[in-house]
Structure 1
C-alpha cells in the first residue's frame, strides 16, 4: 500500500476549495484525470458514483469512483477502482486566516502483478499527488488571465 499526504495553504475560502474538489469538469485542469463525470445530476452526496479516465502513468483506462465522505466545506473523500488498483483519497479542508489549509491525502493498493511495483512507485505517487495539490492551489488562486497569485511551498509527508 502506498500512502501519501500533502498540505497546501490556498488563498481562497473553504467553500471555494470544497466546490473545486466536487467539480468534475475542472479535474483535468489540475490532475491527469480526464472525462470525469458523476453518473447522475443530483447534488454531491455520499454513495454518488461516477467515473474518469487516466491516460498517463502505470494505470490507464477508465476508473470507477464513489464519494465515500462528504462534510460541506470540511471534507471530500473518494474511492476509485480499476482492475489493477484500489484507491481512497480524503481531502480535509480547514479554515486558516482568510484562506484554507488543504490536506490532500490517500492510499492506493495495486492488484495482481502490479503490487510488486509498489515499493518502486511510492515516491513517484507521492510527488505526483503533491504536484496536484500545488496545481489546485494555483488554479484557485489565479487572479487574471495567465497571472497567478504568489505561491507558497507545498509540504509533503510520507
Structure 2
C-alpha cells in the first residue's frame, strides 16, 4: 500500500470548503492527474453518491468508480476501485481562524500483478500529492463564492 498525506490551509470557512470538496467532479480542478470526473447519480451529494473518475498516470489513463462512504461535517471519505487498485481519499477539516486546515490522505492498495510495483511508484505519488497541495487552495478559492 502507498499512503501520502498533506496538510493544506485553504482561505475558506470549513463549511464552504467541505461543500466544495464533497463534489468529487471538482477533482478536475485541483488534482492534476484527473482527466475527467462524472457524477453517476443525481440530486444533492450524499453518502453513497458515486463518480467515474478518469486519471492519467505515467502516460496511461485509468478509470475508477468512486463512492462517498463518509460524509460528516468535518470529514469526507471517497473510495475508488477498479480491478488493479483500491484508492481511499480521506479528508479531515479543521477551522483555523477564517481559513480551514485540510488534512488530505490518499491511500492506494494495488491488486494482483500490480501489487509488487507499489514501492517503485511511491515517489510519483509523493510528487502528485505535492502538486495537489499547491493547486487545491487556488482552485477552491476561485470556485467558492
TM over 0.5, shorter chain: yes
Give the alignment's Cα RMSD to 1 decimal: 1.9
- 1:21 aligned residue: 21
How far does residue 35 in structure 1 lie from its aligned partner after superposition?
2.6
User: Unpaired runs of 5+ in structure 1?
Assistant: 144-158
What TM-score results when the alignment is normalised by the length of structure 1? 0.81
How far does residue 127 in structure 1 lie from its aligned partner after superposition?
2.4
On the 8 A contact 2:25/2:39 being kept in 1, the answer is: no
- 1:132 aligned residue: 132
On the 8 A contact 1:78/1:90 being kept in 2, the answer is: yes
How far does residue 26 in structure 1 lie from its aligned partner after superposition?
2.6
- 1:89 aligned residue: 89
**1:22-61 alignment to 2 at 5 Å?**
22-31=22-31, 32-57=33-58, 60-61=61-62
- 1:117 aligned residue: 117
Q: Is residue 65 of structure 1 aligned with residue 47 of structure 2? A: no
Deviations 1:61-113 (A, max 9, x none): 221111111113x1111000011111111111110011000001031111122
Q: Equivalents in 2 of 1:20, 1:84: separation in Å?
A: 29
Q: Is residue 80 of structure 1 aligned with residue 83 of structure 2? A: no
Q: Equivalents in 2 of 1:60, 1:33: separation in Å?
A: 9
